[in-house]
Structure 1
Amino acid sequence: MARPKPAIIFIFITLFLDIFGIGVIVPVLPKLVEQLQGGDVQAAAHSVGWLGALYALMQFLFSPVLGSLSDRFGRRPVILFSLLGSGIDYLVLAWAPTIGWLYLARAVSGITAANFSAASAYIADVTPPEKRAAGFGMIGAAFGLGFIAGPAIGGVLGHYGLRVPFLVAAGITLLNWLYGAFVLPESLAPENRRPFHWESAHPLKALHALTRWPLVSALAGTHFLTMLAGNIYPCLWVLYTGHRYGWESRQVGISLALVGVLAAIVQGGLASRILKVIGERRGVFVGLIAMAVAMTCYGAAPLGWMVYGIIVIGSLAGIGSPATQSIISRAVPADEQGAVQGALNSITSVSGILAPLVWTSLFSVAIDPKHSFGIPGLPFFMAGLVSLAAALLAWRAFRRSPVVEGQVS
């Protein structure tokens, strides 16, 4: 079995490159869709939304399958399979002659997007319970760093051709797959493997299976509401800051880079230090309250420069997610980590399907002159309430299932 530190470093690199590959195509995918649809901006916007929903739907349906397969055959083959699928997806996107090929590529990519659930299970395998919050925090740090570098480089590469970023993303992902094929050790010990059952791989049954652990099922609800609130950023950030503050791509890029830097700092090391002092259960509440305060402030801020200060406050929300995941991982046996992480990834996918519909629709109503609202920040106020609802669910969960830090519930 791999020693914890080298294994986590590899997983960190893998996830960073994965997010980097996704980020590289973010600035150019809408333009490519527009090009393939003859320059029709309205049709392109519609298609981009459906492409995102299709990706999230495939994740929802197949994450439990791949999570359960990782419990049967190990984390290594699932991670390598997902990397290979992502690399092929980018190549298809690079050479897609019609919009239909983009839908096919996004569906395949959603099916193979098991990196996060398998990586979470890998971390649970190779880290002792008291260090899992730090391990899960590295996932957030990888996301933050990839989120900084990917869109910036993708925007530069897009000047040389809309398809160039896709080729670069494919090359990086496939090189990472090749590296992992030679280097990545297996983390799941043979004695901790279990037979594959379709019942645990069915997305709805996988979610229902979480009810076997009351603490896990309750915190799964917290996880869902947290993801639903947090997904307001990719759905609405550009539209909201452009409408309310007149921000252009430069200001948007600077603000998103700050979000990424702070996410890397908080989840890459600061979160684990804070959690050692206050404990994981309190860490869940600190993260969710920080998110609720930040969302409320975003909705109320009358001037654009205030947003940068709010981003700093909002970065403390990054404490909550690794704390929640650590508690959940300690509440289930070693041979079911993959299935549970797959179910959580499905919950994340459901939030990814619903969030664009909820937040963009609410924003449209909030700024519509036909209505009397006139409150462009209304979606952020609602996201703040959702964050508080998540905290309430966590509070009820801890009251019903008391946990001693570092022990399994």
Structure 2
Amino acid sequence: MAAISKGRRQAAFIFILITVALDMLALGVMLPVLPKLIVQFEGGDLHRAATIAGFFGFSWALMQFLFQPVLGALSDRFGRRPVVLASNFGLGLDYVFMALAPSLAFLYMGRLISGISAASFSTASAYIADITPEEKRAGRFGMLGAAFGFGFIIGPAIGGLLGEYGLRLPFVAAAVLSLANALYGYFILPESLAPEKRTPNIAWRGANIFGVLELLTSKRELALLTAAVFLSYLAHESLPSLFVLYTDYRYHWDSKTTGWALTIVGVSQTIVSGGLVRPAVARLGEVRTLTIALVFGALGFAVYAFASNEWAFLSAPPLIALWAMANPSFQALATRFADPSHQGRLQGALASLRGVSGMIGPLLFTQIFGLSVATGEFPGAAYFLSAALLCASLPVALSATRIAAPQTAFR
């Protein structure tokens, strides 16, 4: 961190926020239309499309699971900048491929490629860990979450509007945004990891599932924190897996309405991530902030599960937005247990953990939803399960922080 001056660190932080915001904007543009495109390929069969969407999510997460540790190891060896640029360029080309996909098989292949390429968020987290003192990381990770949310404020709204003129048009827009992002980063984004802090060789032993497990279980408190993070990640998978299909089934929303609803989610998360995380952690500490976040997240999912109409359903996003304070707290706690030269490995491991939840979650939640549609009973069952997972995550996380408290200044 000392290798970069304070002014350059601040500038670099702004650059990485913009990079992530553009990347998430590109992803958000296609969210309202991808499930509907699958429905179109399946001739309007919503039940079958829900099952296929689950396998799409599983496959994307599998690629994340397999390749995120590799990308983390590469960023520890060669620096963060080339990994971010390669990711954005790869995503841009992939969105072009998906826009031109003539069949469901080609669309599926595109999702596999995007799963490999989508590495910018985890590498950006390592970037921030490189340039930020430990005590300020939760706030910075919150700002990163705000950049993430900003993409979802504009992206789904644009995607929903473009989807009215054609379900493939948002993929073209996503391609333009990702390629522009890569070009922006090439000329603007500086490197954050000083050469003397890079690993001398690529740690291939750590860039696989066994290395991930070894790192995440190297300390008891980190192992417990990992379990809590996994439960939280798994609960989150119900949102991208079901939101479009669930609102289509229950409230008959079109692409435009879905896009605006996702915009509400993005606005709520951005307000929380950008405006509340830093003061909350400063006043309450990481542990109490995490506790509050998980409780509100569980309440939000319960509202999703039991909402009797669309207005009640739309009261949940602000509650779930408060859950956005959980991940920065999780990340800040985890970074304290890794060496500076292994922050990329750590973030890659956490992203791989998200990949595991992403493999399980889409299959789990879409199958529960599909069964609910087939039987006509409790369509909100999948969201109720997410609420239960967050309730289970809280005591596990608190156990981790109690173990670490004597050695680390947690509050």
- Tell me the TM-score normalised to structure 1 length: 0.91
Q: Which residue of structure 2 aligns with residue 288 of structure 1?
A: 294
Query: Are 2:152 and 1:147 equivalent residues in the alignment?
Result: yes
**Cα distance per residue 1:151-190 (max 9 Å; x no partner):** 2212222344443322222122112111211211110112
- How far off is 1:39 after superposition? 6.9
Query: Are 2:21 and 1:16 equivalent residues in the alignment?
Result: yes
Separation in 2, partners of 1:363, 1:160: 29
Separation in 2, partners of 1:32, 1:259: 22
Query: Are 2:68 and 1:63 equivalent residues in the alignment?
Result: yes
- Distance change >3 Å, CA 100–CA 10, structure 1 → 2: same
1:170 to 150, 160, 175: 175
The answer as to whether partners of 1:130 and 1:406 remain within 8 angstroms in 2 is no
The answer as to whether partners of 1:199 and 1:206 remain within 8 angstroms in 2 is no
2:98 to 90, 93, 96: 93
Which range is displaced more, 175-184 or 22-31?
22-31
Q: Which residue of structure 2 aligns with residue 113 of structure 1?
A: 118
- Distance change >3 Å, CA 21–CA 245, structure 1 → 2: closer
**Cα distance per residue 1:329-384 (max 9 Å; x no partner):** 122110100111001001111111211222222234445548xxx43333222221
Give the secondary structure class of the aligned counterpart of 1:27: coil
Separation in 2, partners of 1:357, 1:37: 18
Query: Are 2:208 and 1:202 equivalent residues in the alignment?
Result: yes
Separation in 1, partners of 2:345, 2:303: 37
Separation in 2, partners of 1:237, 1:26: 10
- How far off is 1:38 after superposition? 6.8
Q: Which residue of structure 2 aligns with residue 381 of structure 1?
A: 384
- How far off is 1:35 after superposition? 5.5
Give the secondary structure class of the aligned counterpart of 1:186: coil
Separation in 1, partners of 2:252, 2:39: 24
- How far off is 1:250 after superposition? 5.4
1:214 to 190, 215, 220: 220
Query: Are 2:196 and 1:183 equivalent residues in the alignment?
Result: no
Give the secondary structure class of the aligned counterpart of 1:279: helix
Separation in 2, partners of 1:78, 1:179: 14
Separation in 1, partners of 2:169, 2:245: 26
Separation in 1, partners of 2:256, 2:148: 21
Query: Are 2:207 and 1:224 equivalent residues in the alignment?
Result: no
Q: Which residue of structure 2 aligns with residue 321 of structure 1?
A: 327
The answer as to whether partners of 1:295 and 1:384 remain within 8 angstroms in 2 is yes
Query: Are 2:30 and 1:25 equivalent residues in the alignment?
Result: yes
Which range is displaced more, 361-370 or 55-64?
361-370
- How far off is 1:249 after superposition? 4.9
Q: Which residue of structure 2 aligns with residue 235 of structure 1?
A: 241
- Distance change >3 Å, CA 316–CA 209, structure 1 → 2: same
Query: Are 2:398 and 1:390 equivalent residues in the alignment?
Result: no
Alignment of 1:29-44 (within 5 A): 29-33=34-38
Letter in 2 for 1:184: L
- Distance change >3 Å, CA 340–CA 271, structure 1 → 2: same
Letter in 2 for 1:234: P
Give the secondary structure class of the aligned counterpart of 2:338: coil
- Distance change >3 Å, CA 300–CA 398, structure 1 → 2: same
The answer as to whether partners of 1:36 and 1:98 remain within 8 angstroms in 2 is yes
Separation in 2, partners of 1:393, 1:117: 23
Q: Which residue of structure 2 aligns with residue 279 of structure 1?
A: 285
The answer as to whether partners of 1:213 and 1:332 remain within 8 angstroms in 2 is no
The answer as to whether partners of 1:129 and 1:406 remain within 8 angstroms in 2 is no
- Distance change >3 Å, CA 29–CA 291, structure 1 → 2: closer
Separation in 1, partners of 2:162, 2:156: 10
- Distance change >3 Å, CA 75–CA 12, structure 1 → 2: same
- Distance change >3 Å, CA 351–CA 87, structure 1 → 2: same
- Tell me the TM-score normalised to structure 2 length: 0.90
